[in-house]
Structure 1
Amino acid sequence: MKSFKAYFPFLFLLVLLVTACNSTPKEQKANSGAVVDSLAAAENLIQKYIDEGELAGFSALVIKDGEEVFRMNKGYADRENEKPLEENTIYRIFSMSKPVTAVALMTLYDEGKFDLDDKVSDYIPNYGSSKVYSPNEDGFSLEPQENEMTIRHLLTHTSGISYGWNPGYVDSLYRVNNVSGWDGKLEDKMLSLADMPLNFQPGARWMYGLSIDVAGYLVEVLSGQPFDEYLQEHIFGPLKMDDSGFYVPEEKHDRLCDLYNQGEDKMLTPAQEGMAGAFKQPATLYSGGGGLVSTIDDYARFCKMMLNEGELDGARILQPETVKMIMSNQLPETATYDNGNAGFGLAGAVDFGTGEYSWAGAASTNFWINPTDQLIIITATQIMPNNFDYANEFKSIIDNTLTK
């Protein structure tokens, strides 16, 4: 198990590079000590939560200016059997699948297969007839789309498509018709979804939902390939993301991190067998919105490709201009994200100040790509319902240590 100490030479070099132009040797030495102290504080913080029983284990990887400067694997992948987290532990990344799906779709954009403001119905005709739920004094009516749903709407969660989790008429139809379940085939689910009313007129506001799953199906339509095969050929293979996919093969089951539920007292219990066993069998529905598993190192390669404007180790995945589009605010003027405090790019949040692009997964995995400070942070644990407090506390220390 490696700690920050193994990477002190990188950190010391980093501090010297940052401070050499405007600090004395005495100040440089003090700054390098502050970096080490801060990273030790981050490690100790996580260990405290593990000792208190709030975390079974927690992994983190920090990359600054293209160099790995911090790696941490604390605690257990299987707490009950005291099996430690390893560098190659596999995690359910759930909604961290969404940026991968957006990248896959945008490879087809680079090939000239579509424009972002094309209507979805140009490629999946059923979505042209989707109605819009409109409440009124008599209850509600179903209205035609005023400005038809576009691919940009899908990738920014402004399509009017939800997840079926919320109370209300539209989401009740999702549940009755099982459009958000992972059984069956992607095509069948996405065509059934087109029969459901939209929650609002496309572009009117931001709502989290199955939009990115529709984008995954659009990859199939545009490419003529099953979505899993397209990802392997165009993303995972070229980037050498060897442990990423829609399920964990049997020979790798022992590397899959256990999943835990966290109660109101923050204590953990092993997840029930249904959810805990998910991802151990080949998928039939390739959910671009939440169906992937990956490792810290695999996802780091994806992040490094994005930070390096679409290329990594000679493999070009996207054009630089396309990466900038993904990682910049793409919301319609009528929609806001996070009460207007942040923007939303293609399948990920965007910080207005730093341009940081980020998202998270339902089992408490997180990533951040900060182009201003050339910083990547990835964290992973396996807690449901999600609790991002641990990752955010960890990130706060890293930001205060390594950003300008």
Structure 2
Amino acid sequence: MNIWLPTALCVSTLILAGCNGSSDDNKTNTAPSQSEVIHQQIRDLINTTMAQDQIPGMSLALVSDQDVLFAEGFGVREQNQPESITPDTPFWLGSVSKAVMGTAITHAMENQLLDLTTPITSTLNAAGSFTLATPEADNMALIHLVTHISGIEDDDNYDCAYFYDNGAGQTRYLAEDFSDLSCNASVPTDMSSYLRSYLSADGAYYDADNFNPPGEEHEYSNIASALAGYTLQLATGQSLADYAQANLFSPMGMLNTSWKLSDFDISRIAVPHIRNGNGGLISLPFYSLSTWPDGGLRSSANDLAMFLQMVMNQGNSGGVQILRPDSVELMQSNIIGDDNEAYGIFWNTTTMNGRVLKGHTGSDPGAFSFMLYDPATQLGVVLIANGDDNFAGMDTKYFGIIEQLLQQAEKLK
């Protein structure tokens, strides 16, 4: 609370009694406003959750389609270090990246650069890229990738997509540091090389058991998602990172969002943390991801709040039309699935606690994220963390927290 000094100073003989009368006569008991009470309840919820789950830092934004109702950072960007989290601190997002990729794909479709029905093999062949070794490969189209019905499955070798530079110019694999998995050092870490190694019959990570005919059943796939991002690159001549920067992030003024680590001052990024076997925390390096379209985006709560509001406002962001309303509707529509779990163009529709939510969640080593909104109330929540979500009951607990936050947002609207 700020305590403002009076504009005129009291003379010294009146200090003990107070200015303009006795101190008792001039005491005011100002009760906190309803919004202040709600803000404190939100802070208490987040701080309690962080303490329970050993999370060093979180950032939260609650939005309506018109306003940012609450935006605040909690904790620190790295354990045992003083730098505080703010709503502008960039975090690793994990699979929330897919919803952003889906928006970029929708934008490219709107500009007739992509089509959901175009066979993936046609795009790969036109670019002289690798050959898909999957049953009925010629029948696999972009629509199968963005709705997770491609028939491509992730196996343990997907974990070899996470890597970092050990500081001596050598590549280290995160999985080898924390599991018994052995990665193939002969596979280059760039996206096209990794995808070739996994999706081509002669690839180092190829396994025929990871492929089923497209369109037959739902199978959430990070590899297929990365292939969708690669397809955008081949079709547009720009990487997904560059395309999104030019057509989404820059026009919207999202200054703390990028798929490229080189775009950030790393001293500002939230450091991911995992638990060790003794109940403590381990700070992870700023790792990268060979299949980066599926999970490698970094962003802040404020930027994602702006992004979510654009979607809630039918593609309009502060007077700038990013997407047409019909494109936004298609992106979030139920292309495949049922009323409880459906996918549009990577945008997920799910029902939790009786509430229909649209958006995406994310989870990767040492970081997790939520970007969701309720179309019935036009209220949204962004919650991002640099902690470990690998514990029993996490999903139930955090969707309960999301529900509490949306209820608080209803009171603030």
TM range (shorter): 0.7 to 0.9
Instruction: State the shift of 1:127 in Å.
Output: 7.9
Tell me what 1:328 maps to. Answer: 333
Instruction: State the shift of 1:130 in Å.
Output: 2.8
Instruction: State the shift of 1:38 in Å.
Output: 5.2
Tell me what 1:347 maps to. Answer: 346
Whether the 8 Å CA contact 1:154–1:211 is kept in 2: the answer is yes
Tell me what 2:247 maps to. Answer: 234
Instruction: State the shift of 1:324 in Å.
Output: 0.8
Tell me what 2:151 maps to. Answer: 160
Structure 1 range deviating more: 108-117 or 345-354: 345-354
* TM-score normalised by the chain length of structure 1: 0.74
Taking structure 1 as reference, are residues 52 and 129 closer, same or farther at Cα in structure 2, changes over 3 Å only?
closer
Instruction: State the shift of 1:300 in Å.
Output: 1.6
Task: Please give the alpha-carbon distance, in whole angstroms, between the structure 2 residues aligned to 1:50 and 1:129.
Answer: 44
| Aligned ranges 1:174-185 → 2 under 5 Å | 183-185=188-190
Letter paired with 1:40: Q
Tell me what 1:26 maps to. Answer: none
| Aligned ranges 1:142-157 → 2 under 5 Å | 144=136, 148-157=139-148
Instruction: State the shift of 1:154 in Å.
Output: 0.3
Whether the 8 Å CA contact 2:102–2:347 is kept in 1: the answer is no
* TM-score normalised by the chain length of structure 2: 0.72
Instruction: State the shift of 1:225 in Å.
Output: 1.8
Task: Please give the alpha-carbon distance, in whole angstroms, between the structure 2 residues aligned to 1:381 and 1:326.
Answer: 26
Whether the 8 Å CA contact 1:120–1:128 is kept in 2: the answer is no
Tell me what 1:130 maps to. Answer: 133
Whether the 8 Å CA contact 2:61–2:381 is kept in 1: the answer is yes
Tell me what 2:4 maps to. Answer: none
* Residue 368 (str. 1) matches residue 368 (str. 2): no
* Residue 392 (str. 1) matches residue 391 (str. 2): no
Task: Please give the alpha-carbon distance, in whole angstroms, between the structure 2 residues aligned to 1:268 and 1:49.
Answer: 17
Cα RMSD (Å) of the superposition?
A: 3.2
Instruction: State the shift of 1:185 in Å.
Output: 2.7
Which secondary structure does the structure 1 equivalent of 2:61 belong to?
Answer: strand
What is the total number of aligned residue pairs between the two structures? 338
Task: Please give the alpha-carbon distance, in whole angstroms, between the structure 2 residues aligned to 1:250 and 1:203.
Answer: 38
Task: Please give the alpha-carbon distance, in whole angstroms, between the structure 2 residues aligned to 1:127 and 1:151.
Answer: 16
Taking structure 1 as reference, are residues 113 and 82 closer, same or farther at Cα in structure 2, changes over 3 Å only?
closer
Whether the 8 Å CA contact 1:98–1:290 is kept in 2: the answer is yes
Instruction: State the shift of 1:155 in Å.
Output: 0.2
Tell me what 2:59 maps to. Answer: 59
Letter paired with 2:225: I
Task: Please give the alpha-carbon distance, in whole angstroms, between the structure 1 residues aligned to 2:231 and 2:370.
Answer: 26
Letter paired with 1:359: H
Whether the 8 Å CA contact 2:241–2:260 is kept in 1: the answer is no
Task: Please give the alpha-carbon distance, in whole angstroms, between the structure 2 residues aligned to 1:53 and 1:398.
Answer: 18
Letter paired with 1:230: Y
Which secondary structure does the structure 2 equivalent of 1:322 belong to?
Answer: helix
Which secondary structure does the structure 1 equivalent of 2:399 belong to?
Answer: helix
| Aligned ranges 1:240-251 → 2 under 5 Å | 240-249=253-262
Deviations 1:167-186 (A, max 9, x none): 9xxxxxxx99869x8x5332
Deviations 1:158-217 (A, max 9, x none): 1012222389xxxxxxx99869x8x53323333444324453221122222212211111
Taking structure 1 as reference, are residues 237 and 286 closer, same or farther at Cα in structure 2, changes over 3 Å only?
farther
Instruction: State the shift of 1:264 in Å.
Output: 7.6
Which secondary structure does the structure 2 equivalent of 1:367 belong to?
Answer: strand
Letter paired with 2:212: F
Taking structure 1 as reference, are residues 122 and 72 closer, same or farther at Cα in structure 2, changes over 3 Å only?
same
Instruction: State the shift of 1:341 in Å.
Output: 2.7
Taking structure 1 as reference, are residues 223 and 44 closer, same or farther at Cα in structure 2, changes over 3 Å only?
same
Whether the 8 Å CA contact 2:134–2:212 is kept in 1: the answer is no
| Aligned ranges 1:5-404 → 2 under 5 Å | 33=34, 37=37, 39-52=39-52, 54-125=54-125, 130-132=133-135, 144=136, 148-165=139-156, 183-195=188-200, 196=206, 197=208, 198-209=210-221, 210-249=223-262, 252-262=265-275, 267-272=279-284, 276-278=285-287, 285=290, 287-331=292-336, 336=337, 341-351=340-350, 356-362=357-363, 363-386=367-390, 387-388=394-395, 391-403=398-410
Letter paired with 1:102: G
Task: Please give the alpha-carbon distance, in whole angstroms, between the structure 2 residues aligned to 1:178 and 1:323.
Answer: 41
Letter paired with 1:395: I
Task: Please give the alpha-carbon distance, in whole angstroms, between the structure 2 residues aligned to 1:291 and 1:224.
Answer: 20
Taking structure 1 as reference, are residues 149 and 236 closer, same or farther at Cα in structure 2, changes over 3 Å only?
same
Q: Could you list the runs of 5+ residues in structure 2 that have no partner in the other structure?
A: 2-32, 159-180, 201-205
Q: Could you list the runs of 5+ residues in structure 1 that have no partner in the other structure?
A: 2-31, 133-143, 168-174
Instruction: State the shift of 1:397 in Å.
Output: 1.0
Instruction: State the shift of 1:113 in Å.
Output: 2.9
Whether the 8 Å CA contact 1:354–1:371 is kept in 2: the answer is no
The sequence identity of aligned pairs, in percent, is: 20
Instruction: State the shift of 1:366 in Å.
Output: 0.9
Instruction: State the shift of 1:356 in Å.
Output: 2.5
Whether the 8 Å CA contact 2:276–2:282 is kept in 1: the answer is no
Whether the 8 Å CA contact 1:63–1:70 is kept in 2: the answer is yes
Task: Please give the alpha-carbon distance, in whole angstroms, between the structure 1 residues aligned to 2:121 and 2:408.
Answer: 48
Letter paired with 1:365: S
Which secondary structure does the structure 2 equivalent of 1:356 belong to?
Answer: strand
Instruction: State the shift of 1:129 in Å.
Output: 5.2
Whether the 8 Å CA contact 1:246–1:286 is kept in 2: the answer is no
